[in-house]
Amino acid sequence: MADTGAVTSEQGWEPVALYGGQGPQWRGVSPRLATARSIIVSAVCAALVLAAVALWGLLSSPWPLVAAVVVVGAWLWLLWLVRRQVAAISWSEQAEELVVRRGRLRRTLVSVPYGRLQLADMQSGPLARHFGLASVQIHTASPHSGGSIPGLPVAEAEALRARLTERGESQRAGL
C-alpha cells in the first residue's frame, strides 16, 4: 500500500502511515458533543418551522409552507452534517507539540509547539456541562496560532489542561 488513504474509525478519519510506519496516536472528542450541537440546531430549526407555520395561518399563502418544508430539509441535512463534523475532530499530544485536526471537506491541522504555549484554558457552557463536556482553549502570543479542542469529558479536559500548562512551562524554562 503506497498511498496514504483515510481509515474510518469510530472517532473519524485517521491517516495511514506510509510503508507500515507508526503515525501519531489520534484521540477523538466525545460523541456527546454531536448530541449537544444537534440540540442547538434542532432548537433553531424548530423555531423557524413554527414561525413559518404561524405565518401560513396568518397569510393563507402556500409560500410559508414551502419555506417550512425547506427548513425541515435543511434541518435533516444539518443533523447529518453535525455528526460528520464532530467525528472529524481529533487531537494528538506529540513530544514537542499539540496537534489538533478537524474537518472532512476543508481539513485543518493546527500544530502548537509547547514552547509557544502561554495559557491553556478550560471552558464549559450550560449545555456542555449538562452533557459533562468541556473545551480546552490553547493561547499563544500570536492570535492566529492558538487552537481549541471541544467536546472533551470534564476530567479529561482538566488533565489535558494541566499537562499542557506543565509542558509549556518546562519548554519555556529550557529556552
CATH number of the domain that residue 128 is part of: 2.30.29
| pLDDT band (50, 70, 90) for residue 173 | low
Are 119 and 66 members of one domain?
no
pLDDT at position 13 is 44
pLDDT at residue 102 greater than cutoff 50:
yes
pLDDT at position 98 is 92
Are 97 and 41 members of one domain?
no
Structural domain span for residue 161 = 90-173
| pLDDT band (50, 70, 90) for residue 161 | very high
Are 102 and 155 members of one domain?
yes
Across the range 122-141, mean pLDDT stands at: 94
pLDDT at position 22 is 66
pLDDT in tens, 43-65: 999 999 999 999 998 988 899 99
pTM score above 0.85: no
Are 72 and 99 members of one domain?
no
In a domain, 139, yes or no: yes
Are 105 and 44 members of one domain?
no
pLDDT in tens, 7-39: 444 444 444 443 344 678 999 999 999 999 999
Give the chain's domain count: 2
In a domain, 104, yes or no: yes
In a domain, 8, yes or no: no
DSSP string, 45-66: HHHHHHHHHHHHHHH--SHHHH
In a domain, 3, yes or no: no
